[in-house]
Structure 1
Amino acid sequence: MFTDNQDDTSKHSRVCIITGANSGIGLEAAKQISDKGYEVILACRSESRGKKAENDIKDLNPSANVKFMKLDLGSLDSIRHFVDDFHATGKPLHVLCNNAGLETSGYQQTEDGFEMTLGVNHLGHFLLTHLLLEDLKKTAERGEDVRIVVTASEVHNPKSPGGDRGVPAHIDLDNVMVTDPDSYDSWLTYKNSKLANVLFTYELARRLKDSGITANCLCPGFIPETGLLRDISMMRRFALYLVLPLLKWKGVVRTVKDGGETVAMVATDEKLKGVSGKYYVNTEEKESSKESYDKEIAIGFWKISENFVKLDEKYKIPAVM
């Protein structure tokens, strides 16, 4: 049960917020994390699907401590309201899983006028993380294990399957946000958003060094059954249908349960306590793309992201020189 007592944290189990937890990898990760005794907040855009996910988890595990809270990552106002609502519960925060993601079939904009894919996959989580950072720091100051987990994807890497198709992912600091619908490439934009996730994680790890907060990212694998592909074009869907048997035969395709396991591992595994600035694929540490390690791009993109979300000075994290 939620409590309004902001001072007595001794009664609380470890608390995890996971975005996009109403379906797919997020839902499976929420199940697995709650099974480990964590109190899990399902941060989802749809109230009906979020509450259904809450009930489904409790049906499987009646002792699961899970709760839906409304969050639309495509709305900066919604993100701020979510943080206010979380603060009203008086709960500590141990783990923030920035998991939600989407790829659109055509050019769309968020409520604030950002291109939808980058707006949700990166900017929404960028703001959410900053607004919850003080909560994470307070928990870390008590000597508790505190983690930020970001769900990225291997497609950010031009040398990976999928990442090698079409124009490679790249963050152009002079042209970060797609504004021309006629030149819109949904696959490239998605790949760029996943590169943004990795760049953000590594820069976050550098800026939070010695704070007691770790930041790691992961690729849950190629999982066609997730809701991520719900908005792709019919042509892409047909191509996927044709190639899927081959991918399954090669062992490339993973299940939602597998993907949820990767998220849960990075969020909870004792072996990763104190480990930061790493990238995991299918529960194993891997190297990410060459560009993802470019500190100059990371810092420049960070500053642009701060400006996009109009981040208040009090929430800014100084860069490490």
Structure 2
Amino acid sequence: MSDTTPSTSNVVVAQPSVIDQAQFWIGRQTALPNSWRCNLIGGLEFLSHFGEALFEGRISTRSRITRLVRMADLPPIEGGHTPNPGAGHNNDYYPRPRRSSGFDHTEEGEGTPLAPADQTDSRRPVAIVTGANSGCGYETTKALLQAGYFVVLACRSALAAEHAMDRIVQETDLRHMTFMELDLASLESVQGFVEAYRRRGWPLHVLVNNAGIMYTPYARTADGFESQWGVNHVGHFVLTMGLLPVIKRTVSWSPSDKQGNEKRSSFARIINVSSVAHLSEPKFDPAVLEDPAKYHPLVNYGMSKLANICFTAELSRRLAADPDLQGHHRITVNACHPGPVSTGLYRYTPGLSKLGTLLDMVLLSPAQGALTLIYLCLAPEVRDVSGVYFFDLEPRATSEAARSVQVQKQVWDYTVRQLTDKLPQAKDWA
């Protein structure tokens, strides 16, 4: 795989800029209504919506793309550069998602192949995707590659990452990616990743905090955190804060052009993958994270997903007030729920893990679940949107706890306190 250092100057984002003008229609639509909640009443309401849609013929068992955009049809992107079609990519398609919600479908249409950026272009923007070897992370990685990004697959297993990269090459013939080891259950590993990335001197335009575990038996990380809390929240918190100086440097003002006009080199985006499961936790309760006797797989998972949203909101607020950034640069931070996706995360869920193919018929595919992640990575219309929770390509309401500025600060302060005696730099994050 390509491990060539991406250029830090004249960075051009080689991405389509008309996402909401084209359509990606999800076939097996299982999107949750806005009012859905993680309780019995909410579940019954969801089943009612689903049954009504099925009865009226608004559910299809086929997944399809009704329209794709040709590169030649795209307007020039920032910097006036339009990527050159590469040879041998006639079968590459880029899904253009539409804004949608609820249950619906449309008839199948013809697609048009989209060629990726010229692989010899050294001005690629750079993205990091955690958990990129499978599920939504894998699909997001493919989309970023097709959009012209140099992608770092941040994974725990080198073997799994190599297999994923081999699959991507087979499916897309794209190779501008590399692997860097990252174990979110180990602060030593996270710090090692950050230091290694800094040494490479690469910029960072997109950080996708996607990796996670769900409903696991009780365990602690190498640093003593409850495992779901440690992997889903603390690991990504430390990763993001460690890489933030790199991101800030990436969006710094570029030198003046020939006419003497200062111009911004790029924008940067941070995407935190959360879950609708955060709605199950009415408050942030540290005791659940500290007392093994109070551990419950569903509760602790919901707590970690609540923390993802609180971290998103608080970091967005801090960046907006940062004197080094305010009025000059833009780093956005958003959270999203990918939907009920058929991935390995359900292997610890009692009963569900045994349903196999039946479960796949009900849940979204990883490609479908990745749509909102891809949207937040690439869509120009959300480039200036920050601190928002998305689902199904749209902003969605969060729980009262997740909306509370007090709870957002509480989660941040609690996390920093947990880290202070483990990481010297944590005191600078207070």
TM range (shorter): 0.7 to 0.9
For 2:129, the equivalent position in structure 1 comes to 18
Q: Which residue of 1 aligns with 2:289?
A: 177
Between the aligned partners of 2:417 and 2:228, the Cα distance in structure 1 is 18
Which one of the candidate residues 291, 297, 302 is aligned to 1:191? 302
User: Does 81-90 or 46-55 show the bigger shift?
Assistant: 81-90
Aligned length: 299
Matched with 1:258 is: 368
> What is aligned with 1:274?
384
Q: C-alpha separation between the residues in 1 aligned to 2:372 and 2:178?
A: 22
Equivalent of residue 293 in structure 1, options 403, 422, 427: 403
Distance 2:366 2:130 in 1: 16
Aligned residue among 208, 216, 226 for 2:343: 226
Structure 2 regions of 5+ residues with no counterpart?
Answer: 12-121, 254-263, 321-325
How many angstroms apart in 2 are the aligned matches of 1:104 and 1:29? 23
Return the offset for 1:316. Answer: 3.3
Q: CA deviation at 1:241?
A: 7.0
Paired residue secondary structure (2:197): helix
Identify if the C-alpha distance between structure 1 residues 86 and 313 changes in structure 2 by more than 3 Å, giving closer, same or farther: closer
Relative contact order, higher structure (CA 8 A, sep 6+): 1
State the distance in 1 between where 2:310 and 2:371 align.
Answer: 23
Higher helix share: 1
1: CA distance, partners of 2:419 / 2:10: 31
| Pair 1:87-2:198 in alignment | yes
Tell me how far apart the structure 1 counterparts of residues 242 and 200 of structure 2 sit (CA, whole Å): 15
The question of whether the paired residues in 2 share the 8 Å contact of 1:3 and 1:91 is answered with: no
Give the deviation of 1:305 after TM superposition. Answer: 0.7
Q: Which residue does 2:333 correspond to in 1? A: 215
The counterpart of 2:413, out of the listed 274, 282, 303, is: 303
TM-score between the two structures when normalised by the length of structure 1: 0.86
Distance of 1:315 and 1:257 partners within structure 2: 39
Distance in 1, matches of 2:197 and 2:357, equals 44
> 1:204 — aligned with what?
315
The CA deviation string for residues 243-262 of structure 1, in whole angstroms up to 9 with x for no partner, is 959x93xxxx3221111121
Equivalent residue for 1:139, pick from 240, 250, 266: 250
Aligned to 2:173, the other structure's residue is in SS state coil
Give the number of the structure whose alpha-carbon radius of gyration is greater: 2
Distance 2:285 2:181 in 1: 33
Segments of structure 1 that go 5 or more residues without pairing to the other structure are 159-167
> For each residue in 1:116-167, what CA deviation from the matched residue of structure 2 results, as whole angstroms up to 9, or x when unmatched?
0000000000000000000000111132110110000111114xxxxxxxxx
TM-score, normalised with respect to structure 2: 0.65
Stretch deviating more after TM superposition (187-196 or 304-313):
304-313
Q: Pairwise CA RMSD of aligned residues?
A: 2.4
Contact persistence 1:25–1:260 (CA under 8 A): yes
2: distance between equivalents of 1:192 and 1:231?
17
